[in-house]
Amino acid sequence: MEQAEAALEAKEQAKKASFEYTGKLAAETNKVSGIALQFTEPPEARQPSVRWRLYVFKDGAPLEDPLFIHRQSCYLFGRERKVADIPIDHPSCSKQHAVIQYRLIEKEPQRYYELFEKDTLKFGNSR
C-alpha cells in the first residue's frame, strides 16, 4: 500500500511545472543555419567604438583588402562557411576555430586575451 502511495505522489510531482533553467532554450538560440555554435557571447559584449581593421597575409604578402572588424561585437573564424564570419580554409583549423570578441570589461582572468594594435594572429599550421 505504501508503495502505491509513493508511486502516486511521485507521479503528481512529475506533473507539476518546473521553472528551473534547463539550457534547452539557450541551445536553440545559439544556432546559425541549423549549426550549433560552440561560442556564446558574454553579457558584457559590445560593438567597438574604434574602427578596427584586420590585414590578412599569406607567406608574408598581403592576401586581399583589409577586413573591417568593427561592425559587429564578435567575429568567428573557422572552416565551416555557413557560420564563420571570416572563413579559414587551412585543414589544420577547426570548423569553429577562434573568435574575436569585443567586451566592455577591460581585464578578466578567463580565457580571453586582449589584442593590441599590430598584434599578429596565426591559426593552425597556416603561414
- Is residue 83 packed enough to be buried (19+ CB in 10 Å), middle (13-18) or exposed (0-12)? buried
> Would you state the cell numbers that stand for residue 92, as one nine-digit string?
589544420
* pLDDT at residue 78, rounded to an integer: 92
**Which residue, among 12, 9, 42, 33, has the nearest Cα to 82 in the 3D structure?**
33
* pLDDT at residue 25, rounded to an integer: 56
| Digitized pLDDT (tens) for each residue of the chain, 127 residues in all | 677 777 777 767 666 656 666 555 555 567 777 788 888 888 888 998 889 999 988 888 888 889 999 999 999 999 999 889 999 888 999 899 999 998 887 666 666 788 888 888 888 887 6
* pLDDT at residue 20, rounded to an integer: 63
The strand pair at 61-62 and 98-101 is best described as unpaired
> Would you state the cell numbers that stand for residue 6, as one nine-digit string?
509513493
* pLDDT at residue 71, rounded to an integer: 92
* pLDDT at residue 15, rounded to an integer: 63
* pLDDT at residue 75, rounded to an integer: 92
Answer whether CATH 2.60.200.20 is correct for domain 38-118: yes
| Domain extents in the chain | 38-118
Q: pTM, whole model, 2 decimals?
A: 0.68
* pLDDT at residue 105, rounded to an integer: 73
33/49 Cα distance (integer angstroms)? 29
> Would you state the cell numbers that stand for residue 68, as one nine-digit string?
573591417
